[in-house]
Amino acid sequence: MQLRADNLIVRYDGSEAAVLSNVSFAVESGEKVALLGDNGAGKSTLLLTLAGVLEPVSGGVILDGLVVKRENLHGMRQKIGMVFQNPDDQLFMSTVHEDVAFGPRSYGSAEEKIEQCMDKVFSRLGILHLKNRMTHRLSGGEKRLAALAGILIMEPSVLLMDEPFSFLDLRSRRRLEEILDTLPQTSLIATHDLEVAERLCTRAIVLKEGRVHADGPIGAIITRLKSMSITCR
């Protein structure tokens, strides 16, 4: 599914300056794109806008030719899965099972179907053993996978991930990287980890102070970023 940002301008309530200015790009179906940029560049804000959580002041988010509006937001959210940076924000139910069931239940899926899909998603992520665990007692890596399961069970066509590798030790990172590599979804992954980005993505978009600073094949972008940080020193 194609995801397009069209001239997005986003401002937080109560602040004058726009956090995102004239952000435009299109991510093609099945493409995996890294979203790079310093802290405060606007990565999280962009992802939240694409997920329909923040409303742009002007411009729009377009999913396969359909503009996301308030009226169709509920349906659109089913197609766009957003993995938040802090899994504690995302795991709000008491057990992993309850939490993962939250999305499909909101959309009125039948319980038997939820169970089936859940088992499929859990075995795919290798976390069948976590099903009945309490969410607040999981390790960082387990939380991340549980949060991802809660999104994947909705079978979204587009995945937005906000620094999915943060809070993880090296082994959990590897594991997550392998999993993300096998996912077929159109993905936009905000990250600071250039090496992982290079392995996982084919293209990168660099945000700087709320604008698209660069957009192109991942190799070229990373070479450019690296040379820039060298010249800056």
Partner 1 sequence: MLYRASAGINSLESLAAMDSPLHRVHPMAKLLTTLAYVFAVVSFPSQNVSGLTPFFFYPALAMPLASVPYRPLTRRLFAALPFALMGGIGSLISARETAFTLGSVPVTYGMLSFTSIMLKTFFLVFAVLILIATTPFTELVHQLAHLGIPPVVCLQFSMTYRYLSVLLLEASAMLTAYSLRSPGQNGVKMKDMGSFLGQLILRSFDRAGNVYRAMQCRGFQGVYWSSKNKNPRGGDVIYIALFLSVLLFLRFFNLSRFIGELVRQ
Give the C-alpha separation, 168 to 209, whole Å.
27
Q: Examine residue 89 and tell whether it contacts partner 1 (CB under 8 A).
A: yes
Identify the residue among 3, 27, 37, 44 touching Mg ion (CB under 5 A).
44
Q: What type of residue is 28? A: E
Identify the residue among 41, 158, 168, 221 touching ligand ADP (CB under 6 A).
41
Which C-beta is closer to partner 1: that of 35 or that of 91? 91
Binding mask 105-124 for partner 1 (x = CB under 8 A): xxx---x-------------
Judge whether 189 and 35 are in contact, CB under 8 Å. yes
Q: Examine residue 53 and tell whether it contacts partner 1 (CB under 8 A).
A: yes
Identify the residue among 136, 174, 199, 226 touching partner 1 (CB under 8 A).
136
Identify the residue among 57, 67, 134, 220 touching partner 1 (CB under 8 A).
134
**Secondary structure (3-state) at 35:** strand
Strands across the sheet containing 20-27: 20-27, 3-10, 58-63, 66-67
Hey, how many other C-beta atoms are within 10 angstroms of the C-beta on 33? Answer: 23
Give the C-alpha separation, 51 to 60, whole Å.
12
CA 69, 161, 134, 116 dihedral sign is positive
Of partner 1, ligand ADP, Mg ion, none, which one sits near residue 151, judging by CB under 5 to 8 A according to partner kind? partner 1
Q: Which residues bind partner 1 (CB under 8 A)?
A: 48, 51-53, 74, 77-78, 80-82, 84, 86, 88-90, 92-95, 98, 101-103, 105-107, 111, 132, 134, 136, 150-151, 154
